[in-house]
Amino acid sequence: MSFIQQTTDKNYYRSSKQLFALIDCNSFYASCERIFNTKIIKKPVVVLSNNDGCIIARSDEAKELGIQMGEPFFKAKDIITKNKVNVFSSNYSLYGDISNRVMEVLSTFSPEIEIYSIDEAFLKFDGFNEKKIDDHCKKIRDTIKQWIGIPVSVGVGRTKTLAKVANHLAKKNKEKKGISILLEEKEIKQELSILDVKDIWGIGKKLSIFLKSNGIYSAFDFLQKERGWVRKNMGVIGERIVMELLGLSCLSLEMIPNSKKNCCVSRSFGYPIETFEDLSQSVANYATRAAEKLREDNLVTNVMSLFLLTNYFNKKDLQYSNSLKIQIDYLTNDTVVIVKKALEGLKKIYRPGYKYKKAGIIMLNLSQESNIQGLFEFNKEKSSSLMKSFDSINLRYGNSTIHTAAEGINKLWSMQRQKMSPCYTTRFNELLKVDL
DNA sequence: TCTGGGGTCCTAGGACCC
DNA sequence: TCTGGGGTCCTAGGACCC
């Protein structure tokens, strides 16, 4: 028996009182660039990943030109030049700051908010009069646009997954004007029957290929499958998606962000690098940043993983990749210790004769700093006062004002970001430079 | 020439124990 | 010759997300 047969009588679509709204900023990074550069409004805009490698955000005008998400920049270069597309390197401090402002405004519209990503948040609309929801959504959209200058889409449903579906419709159908409220059973079924399985939240590339090879093309087709089949082939995740699409909420609003379990710092190099010297400078730099990130969140660890790899796109070159798990004898977030351990690890997995493309560090099994106790109290205090000075100097005078000797001075390996906009909202000095 | 970065969760299978 | 079975814990890898 399929899920839908089992559940039709129970009429889940009407049973739940709770409502979720998903607010999603349209082409977020491109929209951020537009706030401070009015000349590019209504013009095609794309934003590139680190190293100006891939296209990671596109304005509607850029989408219409056929530029694909995730497409390598060099492949789209012809279309970009021909159509005078405005191109920006990513400027995460700008986007992060704008995101905080958007979230702050959103939180005035409901006491229950989950910040889901840099450009998305779920709000809970419990106890709202359904007739007034549309007005409320309009107000959200207008306020964010007016106060911050970012266009958003709003989708409302009885589960997070249905709110995602609604948001998808709000974005896709122009006549909806950025708002879609999906609560009526008939309408839900209608929309699910034309929703491609690949567009369901939680179903990615692999699963959608698998589903289509089994004759499942729409979300509605998916709901026709027997429960046992879904469980067997897609595990609990598949089952959960089905329940959510049927209006049975399985995913709750996470108002308090869980503390991070891992923390990764990795970059592709601006140029392929071969020497141990260059590689160790980059690893020292990533380890330094990783330690800083831990201190920002008051976290510590005693285990980390180091990895490095060559460019697998470059078929002519010899390929090598390796990773190493590194244990530290005590919990720490001390830059000096973490850099030292990372470099010791690098010696073990570095092999000469390869052109390295990327390296990174993952801090694992993170726990709260307050957990440090016992034998290492002495070291802890000494280290944390040094690290505090380290962090406050870098905060005041800019990143990497102070750094460990291992990071080196000639950063040949560092990223290329040729088209970056100024950090309008976060770095006064840079703004001055530009204005002058 | 040029192909991102940072996360989460789930599962299968091995190690180990009694 | 014949060599248990069930439980737990850990880890690597795969899938997904933005």
Q: What does the DSSP assignment read for A310-325?
A: E-TT-TTS---EEEEE
Please report, rounded to whole angstroms, the spatial distance between the CA atom of protein residue A406 and the C1' atom of nucleotide C4: 56
pLDDT digit string (tens) for chain A, length 436 residues: 565 555 544 445 655 679 999 999 999 999 999 999 999 999 999 999 999 999 999 999 999 999 999 999 999 999 999 999 999 999 999 999 999 999 999 999 999 999 999 999 999 998 888 789 999 999 999 999 999 999 999 999 999 999 999 999 999 999 999 999 999 999 999 999 999 999 999 999 999 999 999 999 999 999 999 989 999 999 999 999 999 999 999 999 999 998 999 999 999 999 999 999 999 999 999 999 999 999 999 999 999 999 999 999 998 999 999 999 999 999 999 999 999 999 999 999 999 999 999 999 999 999 999 877 654 554 666 778 888 887 887 777 776 677 777 777 666 677 677 788 887 887 544 444 333 2
Measure CA to C1' and name the residue nearest C18: A117
Enumerate the H helices of A66-151 as residue ranges: 73-82, 92-106, 130-147
Residues with CB under 7 A from strand C: A 116-120, 164, 200-208, 325
A263 CA – C13 C1', rounded, Å: 18
Separation of A310 CA and B13 C1' (Å): 29
CA/C1' separation A435–B8 (Å): 42
CA of residue A327 to C1' of nucleotide B16, angstroms: 22
In this complex, the residue with its CA at the shortest distance from the C1' of nucleotide B1 is A74
Collapsing DSSP to helix, strand or coil, A150 comes out as coil
Tokens linked to A379: 């070291």
Q: Is CATH 3.30.1490.100 what the domain over A263-407 is classified as, yes or no?
A: yes
Give backbone dihedrals phi and psi of A265, rounded to 5 degrees, phi first: -125, 115
For residue A44, the cross-strand partners are none
Q: Where in chain A are the domains?
A: 263-407
Nucleotide nearest A167 (Cα, C1'): C18
* A69 CB-near residues (< 8 Å, 6+ apart): A55, A56, A58
User: Please, which positions of strand B sit below 7 A from a protein CB?
Assistant: 1-12
Of chain A, the end-to-end C-alpha distance in Å amounts to 71
Strand order in the sheet with A179-181: A113-117, A120-124, A20-25, A152-157, A179-181
Is the model's pTM score more than 0.85?
Answer: yes
CA of A25: nucleotide with nearest C1': C18
CA at A351, C1' at B2: how many angstroms apart? 25
CA distance A46 to A68: 10
Using a 7 Å cut-off to protein CB atoms, list the covered nucleotides of chain C. 12, 14-18
Sequence-distant (≥ 6) Cβ neighbours of residue A92 within 8 angstroms: none
**Which residues, other chains included, contact A214 with Cβ-Cβ below 8 Å and sequence gap of 6+?**
none
* Torsion A265-A270-A272-A275 (CA) sign: negative
